[in-house]
Structure 1
Amino acid sequence: MLRKSVTESFGAAISSLNAAHLTDGVIRRSKRMMLDTLGVGLLGTRTPVFNVAFQHSKRFQAQESSSVWGRPGSFLPPYYAAFVNGVAVHSMDFDDTWHPATHPSGAMLPALLALIETLPSKTSGLELLLAFNVGLEVQGRLMRFSKEAHNIPKRFHPPTVVGVMGSAAATAKLLGLSPAQSVAALAIACSSAGAPMANAATQTKPLHLGNAGRWGLEASQLALLGLQGNKQILDLESGFRIFYQDYIPHHLAEVSPTASYRWVLEDQDIAFKRFPAHLGMHWVADAAVKVRAKILANEPNADLNQIKRITLRVPSSRYIDCPLPATEHQARHSFQFNCCSALLDGEVTVDSFSSKLMDRKALKELLLKVYLENPQDNQASFDKMYCEIKVEMNHGETYTARCNTFYGHWRNPLSQEHLVRKFKDNASTVLNTEAVNGIVQIIDSLETIDDCSVLGSYMQFHKHIHREEVCYSASA
């Protein structure tokens, strides 16, 4: 018998994995990812970029419809519901991050929940967990075929590369596609993959997650109708390999219906962010908070205006080296901004990126005192990077601190208490208390739920209507 191609092995795995392969650890970790994603998605429905995407998508109609998060009574065709809800998840760069680097959940969960609302039969929580983990597994395996993918990206935004493939795999699983159809879904999705990093730190970046979910769902639906693509899309140099210069694919192990399966999620946990910014900012903020504490411990009445110079020793990465950010999206990708915000306030929060706090005179003056150094041993990898900060005062005192692993990193994960608190803080900006608590309860017992479409209903329990939001524009 001829050996399967790499692509065929992926198609076989997507089709063959079943709920019995899910382990307690994988279920626990993926439920944490889902809860966090729903929370940041709800918070993101209050952003200008979400409103622009929503207004655009309302132009389209279809016989099938799916819920728009945070908008009671608003429904869109499933592709566009996946799109706008995915945009909401990444609108503030508050969603989870994996290693190798990508935002895995926002590319899949909105598409899965949109699809569930259109299926003729009920989808159990266990089926949702299985589909989610199949998509996650495809993302994780594809990234491990490249050493380049282990570093902070330079060319393509990872969710647009592996995220769309994960969305296709996850929705293919939920639709019950055959191995051949799953291969077709991956091939079709690959033709919608890839977006340049040049659009990082702009309002376009959140569209990347929305498009990943939407196009992955579309790919699996087209495959279900019989559309085909290259059956060796993961093998060929002109296929998926174009996204990673050092891409070397490997076959997935044969999946036995009864034998155990080792998921990537078992070996690699997820990072959850404590504030809405690029993951690299969390090292900087933690180091800056430590320095601030040292300054105030030595000088309780210290005037931070007396800072003479701030030196940050961070990895070299152009798109997160933004000395004077002019927009909230640039600020979310600025070593300098997050350092100065943490020094002034002792923390970085959602409000740190408001125009009121960004326009502070003290902040703007402090930004001019920040200098970056890029030590050779400080690698541009979320697994290996660190941040050192040195603050020199006008009177000669010098304070230093270093962060190797921030709280929320996969090596130092958020406690369940803090993860739930983050969800409730985010979700309660949009939903009433009943819905917030209801979602927590559903996710907590998801593997026992018979019909998880109730999540879509809870995601629309808006506590009030923000009428002023309808006038938001892309330049707001």
Structure 2
Amino acid sequence: MFYSEILADFIFNLKYENIPNVVIQRAKELMLDSLGTAIAASKEECVLNVFKTFENLSIEKNTSVWINDQKLDPIYATMLNGIASHMLDFDDTHTEAILHASAILTPLCLSYGFSINQDAKKNIKAFIVGWEIAARVGIASKGTFHKRGFHTTAIAGIFGSVSTSAILLDLNKEQIINALGLAGSFASGINEFLSNGSNSKVLHIANVIKNGIIIAHFAKNNTSGPLSIFEGRDNIFKCFGIEEECDKTELNKGLGEIWQTMQVSIKPYPSCHFAHGFIDCAIALRNDGLKANEIKNIHCFVDEVPISFICDPLEIKYTPKSAYEAKFSMPFLMALGFFDGQITFKSYENLKRKEILDFAKKITYEKRKSQGFPKYFPGHLKAILQNGKIIQKDVFINKGNFDNPLKFEELKTKFLNNVCIKLNNKEANDLFDFIMNLEKQNKFL
């Protein structure tokens, strides 16, 4: 059997009743986190610009957006909500897959899903299915989509979006196979946004959402796609990755037994996830009682894939020009962690703090393969003190990872802090309760 047939069989035959309760609970937590991060982005310039664009394009305005009290066409509303979910780099990550799928799947299920049906259990199942498929494509790629300059969320994410849309639109098995095949031709998204901190990365989310819906509709009307999308001559791993480094057996390993929804990490810091282990290390130095003037320099050991995101070119990373650039600067983020003991949205309000810039320039790096990456986003460094003493810090499992998770109360606090920009305390808690009881609902608020 081709992998598309194996995956389609899983998608088509999975029943909500057979999904473990712990997986359903985690799915709701991930949707809650994604919704909160979207609301927190309500006043971001890019999000507001996209809203204006979609407002002008919308004809049938009947689906709510999360950043204000307006409504848009269902697909445009879903796309906007996805952009907002990813805008602040505070959304979750499947670290091994290097994938931000909840920003895609949460709007698909809560916005588009509820716009076409009122079956909350179906929408939850669709979310879980989307994560199962997207994550496995990302894991199988072994980071090589990124090595080729592609955004893994944009490449693996389209398969999750199509799989979720297949559930929402009740595709049969043959139609799902076609949808997966078609998805490969709609995969796109490059990492050149790193050159200037521009908005193209968040538009990848919108593109994946839109294409996933359209592909599912194509397939529902019996448009055919290649059966061999994962193993043919011009398969997805050859075209977007480095095929000889990939492991396609990951596509169905433990399918229906190992739930990828349980392997997703929720961010404690609003920044590129690759930097979180190093932020944890910097905070650990602070907690040791060290002062900035006692540290001569800090040398970090970084895996290959993160280097292009958070380290290179180092001279530019030392002095980010925008909040978005700062979120992808390991030295700047470490300096924030060292001085403030945390990173919040307010951390990016002043990018010219002298003590931060001076400390960041003490930080260097070299490439070194770590044992845990990419399952974990670790941090490893040596701090050389002015007195010659060397202090080593190793964070093997970054905070928020599924093996070092945020506590439920920490997750709730993050959500409430995120939504306070738009909601009062009662509205925020009502929304929290609504999502935590989503399977009982017949519409989205």
The TM-score, its normalising length taken from structure 2, stands at: 0.89
Q: 2:298 is matched with which residue?
A: 310
- What do residues 99-118 of structure 1 show as CA deviations (whole Å, max 9, x unaligned)? 22111211211122222343
* 1:194-209 superposed matches below 5 A: 194-200=188-194, 201-209=197-205
Q: Decide which of 377, 380, 386 is 1:388's aligned counterpart.
A: 380
| Residue 21 of structure 2 corresponds to residue 24 of structure 1 | yes
Residues 219-253 of structure 1: CA deviation (Å, up to 9, x unaligned): 11232234333233233231323223224545977
* Secondary structure of residue in 2 paired with 1:58: helix
The alpha carbon displacement at 1:158 in A equals: 1.1
Letter of the aligned partner of 2:259 in structure 1?
V
1:71-94 Cα offsets, whole Å, 9 max, x none, are 10x222222112111111111111
Counterpart contact for 1:12–1:179, Cα < 8 Å? yes
1:367 aligns with 2:360: yes
Name the counterpart of 2:404.
412
Change (3 A) 1:230 1:70: same
CA contact (8 A) 1:280 1:382 kept: no
Q: 1:413 to 1:384 in 2, by over 3 A?
A: closer
Distance of 1:431 and 1:289 partners within structure 2: 31
Residue 320 of structure 1 aligns to which amino acid in structure 2? Answer: I
- The answer for the alignment partner of 2:314 in structure 1 is none
Q: 1:33-432 to 2 correspondence within 5 Å?
A: 33-63=30-60, 65-72=62-69, 74-98=70-94, 99-119=96-116, 121-124=117-120, 126-148=121-143, 154-200=148-194, 201-241=197-237, 242-246=239-243, 247=246, 249-250=248-249, 261-265=256-260, 268-296=262-290, 302=291, 304-305=292-293, 307-316=295-304, 317-321=307-311, 322-354=317-349, 356=350, 358-374=351-367, 376-378=368-370, 381-383=373-375, 386-394=378-386, 399-432=391-424
Gap regions ≥5 residues in structure 1: 297-301, 458-476
Bigger Rg, which one = 1
Distance 1:329 1:76, change over 3 A: same
Matched residue type, 1:333: F
For residues 379 and 404 of structure 1, the distance between their equivalents in structure 2, rounded to whole angstroms, comes to: 9
Secondary structure of 1:145's aligned partner? helix
Shift of 1:361: 1.9
Write the letter of the residue equivalent to 1:319.
F
Q: How many Å separate the matches in 1 of 2:401 and 2:256?
A: 26
Of Structure 1 and Structure 2, the greater helix share is in: 2
Higher RCO structure, 1 or 2 (CA under 8 Å, sep 6+): 1
User: Partners in 2 of 1:183 and 1:15 — Cα distance?
Assistant: 10
Task: Report which stretch shifted further, 330-339 or 154-163.
Answer: 154-163
**Residues 386, 404 of structure 1: 8 Å contact kept:** yes
State the SS of the aligned residue for 1:118. Answer: helix
**Structure 1 residues 134-185: Cα deviation after superposition (integer angstroms, max 9, x where no partner):** 1111112323433345x96552111101111101110110111111222232
TM-score, normalised by the number of residues in structure 1: 0.84
Aligned positions, number: 432
Residues 7 and 231 in structure 1, CA contact (< 8 A), matched pair in contact too: yes
Shift of 1:385: 5.2
Mapped to 2, the partners of 1:284 and 1:292 lie a distance apart of: 13
Aligned to 1:467: none
Query: Would the aligned equivalents of 1:40 and 1:94 in 2 still touch at CA under 8 Å?
Result: yes
Q: Is the 8 A contact 2:137 2:251 kept in 1?
A: no
Whether contact under 8 Å (1:139, 1:166) holds in the other structure is: yes
Matches of 2:104 and 2:147, distance apart in 1: 17
